Amino acid sequence: MNNEITQIINTANELIRLGSSGGCTSEQIAAAFVLNKLNYIPAGYDMIEAWERIEAWQGYVKIIKREYMHLINE
């Protein structure tokens, strides 16, 4: 598991636990998509803008959804 995937998973778990995260904007957006909770997308972004913002990380979101959801503490 690479560093970006680890960061997104950690951010997702922070969002679940705390309702917010200290992660960067891209981490928060990616985590929101992993969790299917668009209310975690930072203010100022709609869904399409958010997805485009994480263009480089879209593949990580898909990998997490497919292989690492067991590490999300929902």
Count of domains in the chain? 1
Tens-place pLDDT, residues 6-65? 999 999 999 999 988 888 999 999 999 999 999 999 999 999 999 999 999 999 999 999
Residue 48 belongs to what domain range? 3-71
For the chain, first and last CA: distance in Å?
20
Q: How high is the pLDDT of residue 58?
A: 97
Q: How high is the pLDDT of residue 19?
A: 87
- pTM of the shown model: 0.93
DSSP 67: I
pLDDT exceeds 80 at position 74: no
